Each structure stands twice: as C-alpha cells, then as structure tokens.
Amino acid sequence: MRKIEFKIKDLRLGGDSPVLVQTMCNTNTLDVDASVAQCIRLIKAGAKMIRLTTQGLKEVESLKEIKNKLLSLGYDTPLVADVHFNSEVAIAAASVADKVRINPGNFAQVHKDAQNQFAKFIQECKKYGTAIRIGLNHGSLGERITTMYGNTPLAMKEAVCEWLSMCQELDFEKVAVSIKASNTVVMSQAYKLLYEQMIKNGIVYPMHLGVTEAGNSDTGRIKSAIGIGILLKDGIGSTIRVSLTEDPENEIPAGESIVRYFEDGTADNILSLISPQIPQRCVTLSYKDLYSCSSAHAFRSEQERWNDFIIRLSLAVGTLLLENKIDEYNLTDSPYSPAVLDTLKENILQAARRKFYHPEYIACPGCGRTQYNLEETFNKVKEKTAHLKGVKIAVMGCIVNGPGEMADADYGYVGQGGGKVTIYKGKEPVYKSVPEQDALDLLLRLIEENH
C-alpha cells in the first residue's frame, strides 16, 4: 500500500506527517484588507492552512492580492481557494492558490462537461504545482449517484472514488479528500468506507476530516471531537478542520486540543485504562485520566480550559459511544458541578447519536458567502427553540449552498442577501424572501404549525 504524501509550500500533508489544523476565513474575499487582517489573526492563532471563499473570477483576483500582501508582510501560510459550481473559477484559481478545494457534487455545473473541465483544471494544477481537495459533502451529492446508491455513506464514497480515478488517469497525485456530513454516524461511516476502499486499491490519499455544519459552543466542539476523533483513533486523517459557527479563530484551539490528545499519548493511555471494562458497557474515568499524559498546557482562560476538557472527554468516551462499544460513562473527581456534568453528558450522548435530549442543530460556519450575522441569529434560534426535542433545525449562511447542505433538516433558516431570508420546511421553501426581522417568528410559526 502506498500512502500519498506531498508538500504544499513547506507543509507536508499525508503519509506519516503530523496532523495539520486548518480553518477558513469568513470575510468577503473581495474585501482584501479585511481578509488579510483575518488571515494574520488565524496564522497567529496557529492555523497551518487557510481557505477563502472563491466563488468567481473577481475573487480569484482578490485572492492573488491577499496572497501577495501576506507574502509582503512575511506570512507564507498556504492559502486554499474554496470553489463550488464553476469549473472556470477552479481553473483560474489553480494559478493563484496553493490548493484548490472543489466540490464534486457541483463541479462544472456551468459547463456540464465535467470530465474535460476537470482535465483542464488538473493541467493547470500540474503547471503551477497546486494541490487539490476533492471535498464532497453529504448534502451535495449529485443526482446520478443518489439514484444509484441512495443518499448514503456508500454513495459519498463512490462519488469521491470516481474523482480519484480521474486523478489517477490524469497521473495527478497532489490530492486530498474529504467526505463530510453533519451527522457523526454518516460522516464516520463515509470516511471509513473510503479509507477501506483506498487500502483495497493500494493508494491512500491524505484525508481532510471534519463534521460539517456542527454548530457552535459546546455542542459544536463535542460533535466535531467525536466525529474527527473516531477516525484519528484508527489512524485515518492528515488534516482537520473544526467547523464552528463562531469566529474562525476559535476553531484553531479546538482543533489543537483534538490533535494534542492523540499526540501526547492520552488516547493510548485512556484506551489501556478502559478497554477491560468495555464489556460492561459503562466506563469510569477520572478527570485526571484525561490529563494523565498531558504536559502542562497554558490555557489563556477558564473557557479555554473547559473547551479542552469537553473535547478530551468527547474523544475518550464519545467515540466509544458512537462505536456502540459502551452505553454509559462515569466521570469522577472533576472540578465541575453535577448539573454541569449532566448537561455535558446529554450533549455527548446526543452528538454520538445514542440519546436525544435537545433539538438537533445544523448550522454552517459561515464564509465569504454569508449574508447576515450568522452567529447572532443562530444563537437566537437556539434560544427560542431549545424546548423542541428531536426537531432538526438548520441555520445556513447563504442561499447558494445552504439549501443543499442542510441535508435532512426538518426546518431551515437560510440567508439570501439584501436583508432577506427564506424559511424551509424540509426541502420546500415555505416563506420566500422575508425580511430578516420577521424571519425568526415565521420559522417558529412554521414549526408550531407542524409539531
């Protein structure tokens, strides 16, 4: 078996290289100064790669300016162009970005001639030494694939494999892959299926791991830790992004907490501590066990310490819950109150999809396409709907990708620009182009009428 490893600037990606933490700007890419400033903040926070929304040729030009400004200021961090729908944009971005992410579900929708456009794109990537990511999301599977395999992890795997075969035919290996979903079961199954297929084929490409539309705060971190952790535990994954509906700077410490847990030996130690108990289907851990191998890490605040703790606990027990190896856990000697730990347990059990206590939120992290104050709106939606146990509610930043990406949400709040929002019931837009100030009430009314 051959593990593909390649360089993006000075970074090594794939093979046995360390797992890299990356993130994405949520600035408008046309706003060069704001994007440069955010990139610098993200680099200082520890981002090893930064992705920027690149929806058109104007954004490719801006990306060039952003890159040059960063270089002139001494910042050489690889920049990734995030391209959807338009293969001409991907082709243009290949000469500017260090890596281009394409979404196979919607690549070449302008030209319809996906294979030829892809060949042109790869030719440009070869010419400029640009890497690519085939970044498929559960919500954006093409019609042909879903007709053949349903809307399943298998369909996701098959879709990515088709594009990897095209890369092989074109003799191009600077390829990473991702196969994300917001549901941790779907996401982990899809990655595992793809990894098994790559092993069978004898070539393992670097995998970019992430739980998409994970939301924010504790639940976003817990979902991401469980989904990413279950794969890293099995040696799957070369780079990770913890997508949060928050300032992207917050994604970096969350990603670093996950990586540190595996690198400092805690993952192995916890497994050796609890494995013999697994048949009892309930594990008992002490708070200290979570930090048994951790060299003193300087947390800047109590919030950061808490975030690290919930990620460690999710990695230790949430992954076992997701794998259905245990049904319960007990945590002893923790500095937190029983009430706080009870809520945390509910969130971990729900993220592992074992028990449902709260609504299921699907919220995108936002990007250069975001049309409104996503984080603030998402928090308002959460506040007003917290009692709706089991209801799946999506809050998405744009009308271009939002409706497709909100997957199997029961209701959706999708920003469409110009202060307007569209409210969905399933895939059906029920209230179109409503003013933002009325949108939350209409969402609540729609849910009330149907539940």
Question: Considering only residues 20, 402, 407, 424, which one is a binding residue for ligand SF4 as defined by CB under 6 A?
Answer: 402
Cβ proximity to ligand SF4: between 105 and 318 the closer is 105
> Which residues sit opposite 408 in a β-bridge?
none
Cβ proximity to ligand SF4: between 29 and 117 the closer is 29
- Of 236, 233, 224, whose CA–CA distance to 193 is shortest? 236
Residue with tokens 């146990």: 389
Cβ proximity to ligand SF4: between 182 and 189 the closer is 182
Q: C-beta of 161: minimal distance to ligand SF4 in Å?
A: 24
443 binds ligand SF4 (CB under 6 A): no
Question: Considering only residues 397, 412, 423, 446, which one is a binding residue for ligand SF4 as defined by CB under 6 A?
Answer: 397
> Which residues sit opposite 420 in a β-bridge?
417, 435
398 binds ligand SF4 (CB under 6 A): yes
Residue 85 to residue 155: CA distance in whole angstroms: 20
139 binds ligand SF4 (CB under 6 A): no
Please state, as a whole number, how many other Cβ atoms lie within 10 Å of the Cβ of residue 5.
16
Question: Considering only residues 54, 87, 219, 401, which one is a binding residue for ligand SF4 as defined by CB under 6 A?
Answer: 401
Query: 118-133: buried (b, 16+ CB within 10 Å) or exposed (e) per residue?
Result: bebbbebbeeeebbbb
The count of chain residues that interact with ligand SF4, using the rule CB under 6 A, is 12
DSSP letters along 345-385, please? HHHHHHHTTS---SPEEEE----TT--S-HHHHHHHHHHHH
Q: C-beta of 241: minimal distance to ligand SF4 in Å?
A: 12
Residue with tokens 């594009």: 163
Query: Which region among 9-17, 270-278, 282-290, 392-400 touches ligand SF4 (by CB under 6 A)?
Result: 392-400
- With CB atoms as reference, the residue minimizing the distance to ligand SF4 is 397
Q: Please, are residues 159 and 102 in contact by the beta-carbon 8 Å criterion?
A: no
Q: C-beta of 135: minimal distance to ligand SF4 in Å?
A: 11
Q: Give the contact letters, 364-383, x = binds to ligand SF4 (CB under 6 A), - = no.
A: xxxx-xx-------------
251 binds ligand SF4 (CB under 6 A): no
242 binds ligand SF4 (CB under 6 A): no
51 binds ligand SF4 (CB under 6 A): no
Cβ proximity to ligand SF4: between 316 and 364 the closer is 364
Q: C-beta of 375: minimal distance to ligand SF4 in Å?
A: 12
Cβ proximity to ligand SF4: between 232 and 364 the closer is 364
Cβ proximity to ligand SF4: between 39 and 396 the closer is 396
Cβ proximity to ligand SF4: between 333 and 376 the closer is 376
Cβ proximity to ligand SF4: between 174 and 369 the closer is 369
Question: Residues 70, 74, 79, CA angle at the centre, nearest 5°?
Answer: 40
Q: Please, are residues 110 and 60 in contact by the beta-carbon 8 Å criterion?
A: no
Tell me if residue 339 falls in helix, strand or coil: helix
Question: From its phi and psi, is residue 153 left (phi > 0), alpha (psi between -120 and 50) or beta?
Answer: alpha
Cβ proximity to ligand SF4: between 88 and 213 the closer is 213
Burial-class residue 351 by CB neighbours within 10 Å (0-12, 13-18, 19+). buried
Q: C-beta of 394: minimal distance to ligand SF4 in Å?
A: 9
Q: C-beta of 246: minimal distance to ligand SF4 in Å?
A: 13
Which residues, other chains included, contact 271 with Cβ-Cβ below 8 Å and sequence gap of 6+?
Answer: none
410 binds ligand SF4 (CB under 6 A): no
Question: Residues 39, 43, 48, CA angle at the centre, nearest 5°?
Answer: 110
Q: C-beta of 273: minimal distance to ligand SF4 in Å?
A: 39
- Of 77, 131, 129, whose CA–CA distance to 102 is shortest? 131
Query: 31-47: buried (b, 16+ CB within 10 Å) or exposed (e) per residue?
Result: ebeebbebbbebbebeb
* Residue 20 identity: L
Q: How does strand 360-363 pair with strand 411-417?
A: unpaired
Q: C-beta of 367: minimal distance to ligand SF4 in Å?
A: 3
351 binds ligand SF4 (CB under 6 A): no
Which residues, other chains included, contact 68 with Cβ-Cβ below 8 Å and sequence gap of 6+?
Answer: none
Pick out residues in 74-93 that bind ligand SF4 (CB under 6 A): none
- Please say whether the dihedral angle defined by the alpha carbons of residues 443, 444, 450 and 451, taken in this order, is positive or negative: positive
Q: C-beta of 370: minimal distance to ligand SF4 in Å?
A: 4
Query: Which region among 172-180, 184-192, 333-341, 401-409 touches ligand SF4 (by CB under 6 A)?
Result: 401-409
Binding site for ligand SF4 (CB under 6 A): 364-367, 369-370, 396-398, 401-402, 405
